[in-house]
Structure 1
Amino acid sequence: MRHAQYACQITLSSLKMSQCIKILQKIHSKEIHIDALGKAKQFALFSITRPHMRSFHSSWFCFFMAFTSWFGIQPLLPTIRKELGLSKLDLANSGIASVAATIAVRVIIGPLCDRFGPRRTMAGLLMAGAVPMALSGLIKDGTGLIVLRLFIGVLGGTFVPCQFWTSAMFSPKIVGTANALVGGWGNLGGGFTFILMPGLFQLMKALGTDAFLAWKLAVVVPAVICVILGVSIIFTTDDCPQGHWSSRKLPEITIKISKDEIVQNEKGVPNLGFQPDLPFNEKQNEAIKETKVEVTKTKDLSEKKAEDSKEKGGKCTSDGCCTVVTVVILTMQYGMCFGVEIAVNTVMNLYLLYRFKKADCVQGNVPFFNSLNMTTAMVPEENENECSILNQDTASLIASLFGLMNLFARALGGMYSDVLRKYLSLSGRLIAHFTCLVAEGIMLVIFSQINSIPSAIGVMVLFSTCVQMTEGTTYAIVPYVSTKRIGIVAGLVGAGGNAGAMIWNTIWRQYVETDPSGWFWLLGIIVLCGSILTFFIQISGESIWHGCLRCKSNKDKYEM
């Protein structure tokens, strides 16, 4: 019997070892099929092989650490405020500065990615943002905090090389999934930092330092990690499937034209695959190379545009008009989801401290008993948050839940859009986008009216999920706005998120002293009003009304 048990244990051990070997083989040697350009046509989540999956994991983790460092000071602001004697307005102004820098950086970084590739651009941003983060302990006043967070905001620009990197590695069939995953997992850093930084703060205090020195040492840790990441990706990852960015393979142009069409083109009929009225430069050449031009009919351009306009119901006089309107609306609406996320990340822990107070507590005073005349008086207290039910660490821990929803919520929005696209065509994506915006606005209004911490946590999780699902539905629409200028559209919409965040932080500055809850109520109303703009979006000739008609048609068929 003992021999049988011993043999059984050996068998189980060998099975576990073989399973571990299989897992390791899967991680390191997963075979991925590629297309003609070397881009991956399938997705292997648990693989870290070069070039595709290692670049995938490097892109989201670099973005994750950049986000962690970008908001690394936020959980420690109560201690910083106490040391430097800052006001609530000083903290609000620093939040505006941290977002403002990102807008400018995102405009500059796109051309740098085109020139140097995503790997070196990402490394440069990580190391550039790590320097001011490590030097945070040198600030002496509110102005210093504002300038510091302005320079740390450079890290917010890592979103561009993150998305650029995966776009260079994955085929159009799955690049949407890859972009949604790296974007969502990178945004997780905004929640993780509210767990990491208070933990590092307490660790430094446990090692014998006081609170004012502890936060200065804590901020050095993410800065060092960013530098290590920036250096490592230079030597361990690739820009594109071919390796170095200069070695990348560009798609070829294939033009299918019949003999009759060649004769007609010689007579002066314009080639529909090109735009001769635009100057022929390097950027246009690259844009044309991104698509395969297939000419099947030769028709006068004016007649073609007229027919397209009739098919679209005459809502837009030209394709260019529809595209401009759609881009403007999506840019505004992305500011109502990603902009809200960034703004909430910069204020949530402070809002929890300001909002939930102890009963019968007077801010700034504590009771003091005078034994000489047997009376009790109120004397000033140094702690600015003595009336708050929460402390710095618990408020940060609760606030972390908002960002942690990125683990699944953004991808969930993309999947929701895909499902409605399957049944209602492209108009289904607009319906998904509209419903997510409405749900986000409703949750924001409800959150503003919550008076208890448990209820606030539950509603915050729900409205965070809605916010990030809306981000996913937004970028599910972007590729259909202009198939020849996807990069430009994606960049403009992304910049709208940061612009929105700066606007919301500026409004927060007006509410922070008087009515912090009113800020969330106002955001909710703005988002609800902004959701109506979805009815004016038109992609590939379809609007949200087409989806409503299909819903009615499907319902009638079902009833019959």
Structure 2
Amino acid sequence: MSSSPSPSPAAPNKNKLNILSFTGKNQILHLGWMAFFLTFFVWFNHAPFLSAIGETLSLTKDQVKTLLILNVALTIPARVIIGMLTDRFGPRLVYTAILAIGAIPCFTFAFAQDYNTLALSRFFLGFVGAGFVVGIRLMSDWFPASELGTAEGIYGGWGNFGSAAAALLLPTVAIIAAAIVGGNEGWRYATATSGVVMMLYSVIFYKMVRDTPKGATYFKPKKSGAMMVTSAGDFWLMMAFKLPMYLALALLGWKLSPAGVSLLSQASVNIVYIGLVILYIYEFVSSYRFNKEVFTTPVPKAHQYDFKQVGILNILYFATFGSELAVVSMLPLFYQETFNLSIVMAGVLASSYAFMNLMSRPGGGWLSDKFGRKITLLILTAGLAVGYLLMGIVDSTWPIALALFITMFCSFFVQAGEGAVFAVIPLIKRSMTGQFAGMTGAYGNVGSVVYLTVLSLVSYQVFFMVIAATAVVGFFALFFLKEPEGVIIEEMPDGSFAQIKVS
């Protein structure tokens, strides 16, 4: 085995990033964001129809709000699992499976005749939200560090726009469908159509995407089965950061209990609690067995990384993407109730929040590439806190135009912050990018579950203030983040080592 690192023969294509090009790595970028776009379009195809769905099935307000929580719950464990599968099997196969299989719960949701079917379908649709993780790894293998933040930002931002597109387009599709079929349940056909399109795209993605540029190495974790850490301290830190994911699922269980919306009996919820405890203990034991060597044997420098970096980014994504998921889900209803608007108009105004993804998330990645990862995150996180503070004082006395401006102001910092977070993730350790992206992405869903649960208990104004407070926590955590610099070292299949520049 070679002991000295050598330049990687697996360098990405040298052609520059060009969004007007559809060849080489630029084609992969476009195919990737379109896959992400469709997963988000389907994942949030319910948002513009919340009031219509409630009327069709005679749902209470609590039941409608519970659908929002269910929509993001499964994505917590799904992103972690999908991240591991991506590192193991590659983005092409994993993304194709998500696009194809995810259409099934979309169809069952569209034609559900009772709340239980509706809720269960929405829960399983959280699986579709895990697709984001796959593209993060795909981009990291096609773009160099100098362009990676921008590429990840375009992928994330343009893909995230799927939620805005759903709010903009689906109400019109529903109106057309209702006119053709008759009745007032056009939302069913609109949501089902989105699933058909996603399923068809899975074939295109499979046929046109490669995991890496031709001749490049797809780096896999040295071991598979759990997340690898490289020190005893990192092990304890990792297990501490895994705990909130289980607590978020327990919080969901409480919301579904008789103390919440009574979707589950107390006995069933108690079983959920016990199951989560058993699962955490099992993961603790299996992670310890997987990493037990770090307690007795120093890990070679070539395989080392600092888990604290991942932990800090988890906190930031909790506040950024967690708040985006929550706000995108509730914003049409917020505008409708606050300003007494129609469903279509509320959906159009609410789409402004996600509309900013087209420029702000790529902008956050570009700023990170240009000026540095840490300083960019500090500025954007501070702006995020201010934005939500302003959202918290919006009420019916405000001019709609001013409320819309505040929404877009807040959205810029939220989504640029997301882009900046994932400008760092692939620079920690390339072979584990999927796992890191999975865990950090899951924290976004943990944030959304927490925020949406808060929303079910308090007013819209307090909801926005809570998000602002967590952004302040993320701001102070950032002072412990290390700016990526130098190179990361990965082991080649033949046992030699390759250097990957990160600055």
User: 1:147-185 CA deviation, whole Å, 9 max, x = no partner?
Assistant: 111111111011122122222323344333222211111
Following superposition, the deviation at residue 88 of structure 1 comes to: 1.4
Counterpart among 182, 193, 215 of residue 187 in structure 2: 215
Q: Is 1:420 aligned to residue 371 of structure 2? A: yes
Partner of 1:194: 167
1:323–1:482 Cα contact (<8 Å) kept: no
Q: Is 1:249 aligned to residue 217 of structure 2? A: yes
Q: 1:281 to 1:508 in 2, by over 3 A?
A: closer
1:287–1:485 Cα contact (<8 Å) kept: no
Q: Is 1:226 aligned to residue 198 of structure 2? A: yes
Query: In the alignment, residue 226 of structure 1 is paired with which amino acid?
Result: M
Following superposition, the deviation at residue 418 of structure 1 comes to: 3.6
Structure 1 residue matching 2:102: 3-state secondary structure:
helix
Q: 1:97 to 1:430 in 2, by over 3 A?
A: same
Counterpart among 414, 430, 454 of residue 467 in structure 1: 414
Partner of 2:352: 401
Structure 2 residue matching 1:449: 3-state secondary structure:
coil
**Counterpart Cα distance in 2 of 1:229 and 1:143:** 29
**Counterpart Cα distance in 2 of 1:448 and 1:439:** 14
1:64–1:186 Cα contact (<8 Å) kept: yes
Following superposition, the deviation at residue 240 of structure 1 comes to: 2.6
Pairing of 1:81-160 with structure 2 (within 5 A): 81-160=54-133
Partner of 1:455: 402
Following superposition, the deviation at residue 430 of structure 1 comes to: 2.3
1:98–1:150 Cα contact (<8 Å) kept: yes
Partner of 1:361: none
**Counterpart Cα distance in 2 of 1:520 and 1:416:** 26
Following superposition, the deviation at residue 38 of structure 1 comes to: 6.1
Counterpart among 463, 473, 476 of residue 519 in structure 1: 463
1:352–1:395 Cα contact (<8 Å) kept: yes
1:86–1:141 Cα contact (<8 Å) kept: no
The structure with higher relative contact order (CA 8 Å, sep 6+) is 2
Query: In the alignment, residue 352 of structure 1 is paired with which amino acid?
Result: Y
**Counterpart Cα distance in 2 of 1:492 and 1:203:** 40
Query: In the alignment, residue 481 of structure 2 is paired with which amino acid?
Result: I
Q: 1:340 to 1:248 in 2, by over 3 A?
A: same
Matched residue count: 404
Q: Is 1:48 aligned to residue 16 of structure 2? A: no
1:481–1:539 Cα contact (<8 Å) kept: no
Following superposition, the deviation at residue 326 of structure 1 comes to: 3.6
Counterpart among 415, 421, 436 of residue 489 in structure 1: 436
**Counterpart Cα distance in 2 of 1:105 and 1:414:** 25
Structure 2 residue matching 1:510: 3-state secondary structure:
coil
Following superposition, the deviation at residue 206 of structure 1 comes to: 2.9
Pairing of 1:299-338 with structure 2 (within 5 A): 323-338=306-321
**Counterpart Cα distance in 1 of 2:148 and 2:335:** 38
1:40–1:170 Cα contact (<8 Å) kept: yes
**Counterpart Cα distance in 2 of 1:531 and 1:355:** 30
Following superposition, the deviation at residue 483 of structure 1 comes to: 7.2
TM-score after normalising by structure 2 = 0.74
2:364–2:418 Cα contact (<8 Å) kept: yes
Partner of 2:283: none
Q: 1:537 to 1:162 in 2, by over 3 A?
A: closer
Partner of 2:264: none
Structure 1 residue matching 2:461: 3-state secondary structure:
helix
**Counterpart Cα distance in 2 of 1:181 and 1:414:** 8
Query: In the alignment, residue 391 of structure 1 is paired with which amino acid?
Result: S
Counterpart among 360, 380, 403 of residue 436 in structure 1: 380
Counterpart among 39, 43, 66 of residue 70 in structure 1: 43
User: 1:64-120 CA deviation, whole Å, 9 max, x = no partner?
Assistant: 011001000111111110111111111111111111111121111123223432122
Following superposition, the deviation at residue 486 of structure 1 comes to: 4.7
User: 1:113-155 CA deviation, whole Å, 9 max, x = no partner?
Assistant: 2343212211110111111112223323333222111111111
Dislocated runs of 4+, deviation >6 Å: none
**Counterpart Cα distance in 1 of 2:354 and 2:48:** 13
Q: Is 1:345 aligned to residue 328 of structure 2? A: yes
Structure 2 residue matching 1:97: 3-state secondary structure:
helix
Partner of 2:455: 508
**Counterpart Cα distance in 1 of 2:434 and 2:102:** 25
Q: 1:40 to 1:201 in 2, by over 3 A?
A: same
1:329–1:534 Cα contact (<8 Å) kept: yes
2:97–2:202 Cα contact (<8 Å) kept: yes
User: 1:41-77 CA deviation, whole Å, 9 max, x = no partner?
Assistant: 222322223x533322111101101100100011111
CA RMSD of aligned residues (A): 3.1
Following superposition, the deviation at residue 282 of structure 1 comes to: 7.1
2:108–2:118 Cα contact (<8 Å) kept: no
**Counterpart Cα distance in 1 of 2:367 and 2:139:** 22
Following superposition, the deviation at residue 340 of structure 1 comes to: 0.6
User: 1:261-289 CA deviation, whole Å, 9 max, x = no partner?
Assistant: xxxxxxxxxxxxxxxxxx975799x999x
Counterpart among 197, 208, 212 of residue 236 in structure 1: 208
**Counterpart Cα distance in 1 of 2:133 and 2:484:** 26
Structure 2 residue matching 1:219: 3-state secondary structure:
helix
1:40–1:52 Cα contact (<8 Å) kept: yes
Counterpart among 442, 466, 477 of residue 533 in structure 1: 477
Q: Percent of aligned positions with the same letter in both sequences? A: 28
Query: In the alignment, residue 207 of structure 2 is paired with which amino acid?
Result: F
Segment of structure 1 superposing worse, 449-458 or 181-190 = 449-458
Query: In the alignment, residue 249 of structure 1 is paired with which amino acid?
Result: T
**Counterpart Cα distance in 2 of 1:208 and 1:249:** 52
Partner of 2:445: 498
Unaligned runs of 5+ in 2: 1-7, 231-297, 487-503
2:87–2:433 Cα contact (<8 Å) kept: no
Query: In the alignment, residue 80 of structure 1 is paired with which amino acid?
Result: I
Structure 2 residue matching 1:211: 3-state secondary structure:
coil
User: 1:199-234 CA deviation, whole Å, 9 max, x = no partner?
Assistant: 10111133252212x111111211110111012222
Structure 2 residue matching 1:249: 3-state secondary structure:
coil
